[in-house]
Structure 1
């Protein structure tokens, strides 16, 4: 059983205040998931291919699954000097580091060794929990403070060779923001853009927040997004059970362990998809008490799904 708790005021709930117009659509695959576009006016015939090209380019930079990506090459490097990387990777790293700073580092993109240890990274799944010694050893290879970024020329630097990063908590949101600017420059101004369930609206669009663990398409709450973005982070997609305990893929940087509190998912509404994406993960890590305190402090609009006790 779930409880839905709301802590926002600026989002309109559905009330028949929109007149639907016919839409044109495009879709494809990216970053291990799908993307889609719905627009209320025709767009150029080549726009879908253009969007796919942009996403393919960014995936080749930001992917932690592809060994040839810019991110993977940085991770594989043993150098502790400045390592040249694409400027897009610097932008995403700085974005994630700022959200980390704003949330007491509940978001830490250097947590890749711990994520891999628990079986939620590129190394493959596991069916049992790691030992305390393994967790401690993996945590010793992490730490946001050991990562630096610069723009001129674009480069990253790690304090020790084993430091690795994973920017998946913000990459989809960042890509949505960049694509929105591209669409607007192409004259597409009334659209709903989605990557992996994270959505960005220009104009007013009805969107649903899915019930945790429900079949795809089953929404617990419908909202009207007007020039806003919605991102959700939840514990119900990737997890494994061992000795009667469920281990989710959301890892707390402070403990090196999957979160164990009562939140099932957190959805953040924000003007920027990148911010909504990163804050949703960080608030889920923080949990119901600390998360709500921080959301109130930062003025965030949030929908919380909490497992009823």
Structure 2
């Protein structure tokens, strides 16, 4: 599960304040900002698209296509909408490119550590419990088919959660829709993930900083920025902090000093997923991979 560090939306490059519409989606909020004088699409038009995608990609709506796949114990092909295939394949690409630091099948481990739907815990699980839950995970056990669109799992109990890329994916597709409507200068945001068409200036709030305090500002030009951080959910046991971000390779929470990573990319979906993977990898391995993939990233480490 990924929590985005809220990006403080500042003014665009115009001296006048932008106009905006917004609403709720995917358990968070969305907004669209345009410069004064630009056509602002009705909020209902955007909400309708977001609601349709949420009905496919949501892991908390019991009737979503994703939830129906999760509740099935069949290892045969299961028909799903093509949008879900696209998101899953995007996630698998990130898993491959990041040395398996990204995995959308970690639900059993997330539940085990008390960060899922099964409720909180105040002590870490045993190594035997971690091993047993890891056996129910693994993105390599998830397969896609395009014609007709379908998913298949090797493990009957395998479940997927695409929240670490779904918001970015929705931003990318919303941007294409707005461009097709002849809108070319706008700022889209879902849950703190931001996509800019044209030039927009945004500010980044450092982890644990007071609300409204900006640590860094930057100019986005036809780019997206997404952030993953460990500052929202954790529990303490015997004086040790256990963060909600899990390393798929160990099945345990990350334990390095990196507090958050922001990734700037032309694709909001890739920025979304890469930010989570780099946070898992930590300050050393993460920076090495970012250089290899030519990723522009902003790093915040916790004070020792």
**TM-score in same-fold range (> 0.5):** yes
Q: Which residue of 1 aligns with 2:178?
A: 183
Work out which of the residue numbers 198, 207, 210 in structure 2 matches 1:212.
207
Work out which of the residue numbers 227, 230, 253 in structure 2 matches 1:232.
227
Structure 1 position 54 matched with structure 2 position 49: yes
Aligned pair in 2 of structure 1 residues 152, 17: CA closer, same or farther (>3 Å)?
closer
Deviation at 1:44, TM superposition (A): 5.1
Structure 2 residue runs without a partner (length 5+) = 1-9
Structure 1 position 106 matched with structure 2 position 105: no
SS in 1 for 2:215: strand
| Residues 94-173 of structure 1: pairs in structure 2 closer than 5 A | 94-173=89-168
| Residues 273-288 of structure 1: pairs in structure 2 closer than 5 A | 273-288=268-283
Structure 1 position 174 matched with structure 2 position 187: no
Q: Which residue of 1 aligns with 2:3?
A: none
The answer to whether the 8 A contact 2:12-2:18 is kept is: no
Between 214-223 and 259-268, report the one with greater CA deviation. 214-223
Structure 1 position 253 matched with structure 2 position 248: yes
CA distance in 2, matches of 1:278, 1:158: 22
Between 77-86 and 240-249, report the one with greater CA deviation. 240-249
The answer to whether the 8 A contact 2:225-2:264 is kept is: yes
Taking structure 1 as the reference length, the TM-score comes to 0.91
CA distance in 2, matches of 1:158, 1:59: 22
Q: Which residue of 2 aligns with 1:33?
A: 28
Structure 1 position 192 matched with structure 2 position 187: yes
Kindly provide the CA deviation profile for residues 228-256 of structure 1, in whole angstroms up to 9, marking residues without a partner as x: 00000000012122221111111000110
SS in 1 for 2:210: coil
Structure 1 position 43 matched with structure 2 position 28: no
The answer to whether the 8 A contact 2:34-2:40 is kept is: no
Deviation at 1:122, TM superposition (A): 2.6
Kindly provide the CA deviation profile for residues 201-236 of structure 1, in whole angstroms up to 9, marking residues without a partner as x: 011111111110223432211111111000000000
Work out which of the residue numbers 216, 239, 242 in structure 2 matches 1:244.
239
SS in 1 for 2:227: strand
C-alpha RMSD of matched pairs (Å): 1.6
Kindly provide the CA deviation profile for residues 59-91 of structure 1, in whole angstroms up to 9, marking residues without a partner as x: 111111121111111011011010001111111
Work out which of the residue numbers 52, 61, 64 in structure 2 matches 1:66.
61
Deviation at 1:126, TM superposition (A): 2.5
Structure 1 residue runs without a partner (length 5+) = 1-13
Deviation at 1:175, TM superposition (A): 0.5
Corresponding pairs, count: 294
Kindly provide the CA deviation profile for residues 84-105 of structure 1, in whole angstroms up to 9, marking residues without a partner as x: 0111111100000001100011
The answer to whether the 8 A contact 1:65-1:122 is kept is: no
CA distance in 2, matches of 1:164, 1:109: 8
Taking structure 2 as the reference length, the TM-score comes to 0.93
Kindly provide the CA deviation profile for residues 98-135 of structure 1, in whole angstroms up to 9, marking residues without a partner as x: 01100011001111111111122233332322222211
Work out which of the residue numbers 55, 69, 73 in structure 2 matches 1:78.
73
